[in-house]
Amino acid sequence: MQLTLPRQRTLDLARPKVMGILNVTPDSFSDGGQFERLDSALYQAEQMLQQGAAILDIGGESTRPGSEPVPLQQELDRVLPVIEAIRNRLDCVVSIDTSKAAVMSAAVQAGADMINDVYALRADGALAAAAAAGVPVCLMHMLGEPKTMQQQPEYRDVTAEVLDFMQQRVAACLGAGIAREQLLLDPGFGFGKTLAQNYQLLQQLEQWQAFQLPLLVGMSRKSMVGNLLGLPVTERLAGSLACATIAAIKGAHIIRVHDVKATADVLAVLDATLHGVEE
């Protein structure tokens, strides 16, 4: 499996790839203003690429569970300079993590290679913006809205219902003129799922192979690790690595993580086991 990217590039997904999370937020840096924020983002980006990330996911943080939406101009001001700086200085795949049509268009114009949308292009104008942008799009499942999604999620069968949602979103994308080859799918761990539902989704991850589309997963430091183990966010690395390993074994193509080096190591051991090591 491979993704076709802008500027005659491709991303080979025959072996699982690491997507590094690059948060560009006011609180991710003390209070340095534009320059310091850019500097810190570029440093983080360089580190993650050295550590083995193939993709950097750049988000203005509009999508946290329980969070308020970020105003459009603020999101643009946060992400566009970072995308441009990375594009000009580093050789990597840049993903824009947004649900807003205007951010998708501007980010791709600024050099983003793909769109990561936790709202699966359900926002106003997002289908059309993604179609016009012509880049790969990751469709993530979320039950409800970021503000309300952790209130009593209920499913008859979580995997079946999430797969059904995906079928509908894929159809909507095709209807909007997005090529099937441009789509990636993501179960949306933690987005409107209980602890038990998250682990059922992980257990049944093989079922996603029926789509024959690239599968992206994000479990890094999430409460499905923290609540299971009773650990704060700073102590969730081992559990997150277990999730990454299991997902890769069950067919995930892209693993979205905070801890790039540790995840790349785990995937290298898995790769040596599955495909052997040259003597």
Q: Which residues are known catalytic residues? A: 222, 256
Nearest to 105 by CA among 120, 125, 85, 123: 125
Angle at CA of residue 72, ends 71 and 77, nearest 5°: 105
Listing DSSP states for 155-221 in one string gives -SSHHHHHHHHHHHHHHHHHHTT--GGGEEEE--TTSS--HHHHHHHHHTGGGGGGG-S-BEEE-TT
Identity of the residue, 116 or 197, whose beta carbon is nearer to ligand 7PM in the bound complex: 116
User: Judged by CB under 6 A, which stretch of 33-41, 61-69, 151-159, 161-169 contacts ligand 7PM?
Assistant: 61-69
Q: Does 183 sit near ligand 7PM (CB under 6 A)?
A: no
In whole angstroms, how close is the CB of 61 to ligand 7PM at the nearest point? 7
Show contacts with ligand 7PM in window 86-115 (CB under 6 A).
97
Which listed residue (30, 36, 50, 64) binds ligand 7PM by CB under 6 A? 64
Neighbours of 228 (CB within 10 A): 13
As given in the structure block, the two tokens for residue 59 are 């988000």
Give the Cα separation of 84 and 268 in Å (integer).
Answer: 31
Identity of the residue, 147 or 272, whose beta carbon is nearer to ligand 7PM in the bound complex: 147
Q: Does 118 sit near ligand 7PM (CB under 6 A)?
A: yes
Q: Does 75 sit near ligand 7PM (CB under 6 A)?
A: no
- Do 19 and 259 touch, CB atoms closer than 8 A? no
User: Judged by CB under 6 A, which stretch of 164-172, 182-190, 202-210, 259-267 contacts ligand 7PM?
Assistant: 182-190
Q: Does 141 sit near ligand 7PM (CB under 6 A)?
A: no
For residue 206, give the amino acid letter.
Answer: E
Q: Does 26 sit near ligand 7PM (CB under 6 A)?
A: no
Neighbours of 177 (CB within 10 A): 12
Which listed residue (16, 60, 218, 239) binds ligand 7PM by CB under 6 A? 218
As given in the structure block, the two tokens for residue 240 are 């997150």
Q: Does 208 sit near ligand 7PM (CB under 6 A)?
A: no
Identity of the residue, 35 or 79, whose beta carbon is nearer to ligand 7PM in the bound complex: 79
Q: What 8-state DSSP symbol labels residue 40? A: H
- Residue 128 neighbours by CB under 8 Å, 6+ apart: 101, 176
Identity of the residue, 64 or 147, whose beta carbon is nearer to ligand 7PM in the bound complex: 64
In whole angstroms, how close is the CB of 218 to ligand 7PM at the nearest point? 3
In whole angstroms, how close is the CB of 139 to ligand 7PM at the nearest point? 9
Q: What share of the chain is helix, strand, coil (3-state, %, to 5)?
A: 45, 15, 40
Position with the least CB separation from ligand 7PM: 218
Identity of the residue, 75 or 186, whose beta carbon is nearer to ligand 7PM in the bound complex: 186
Binding site for ligand 7PM (CB under 6 A): 21, 63-65, 97, 116, 118, 138, 140, 186, 188-190, 216, 218, 222, 256
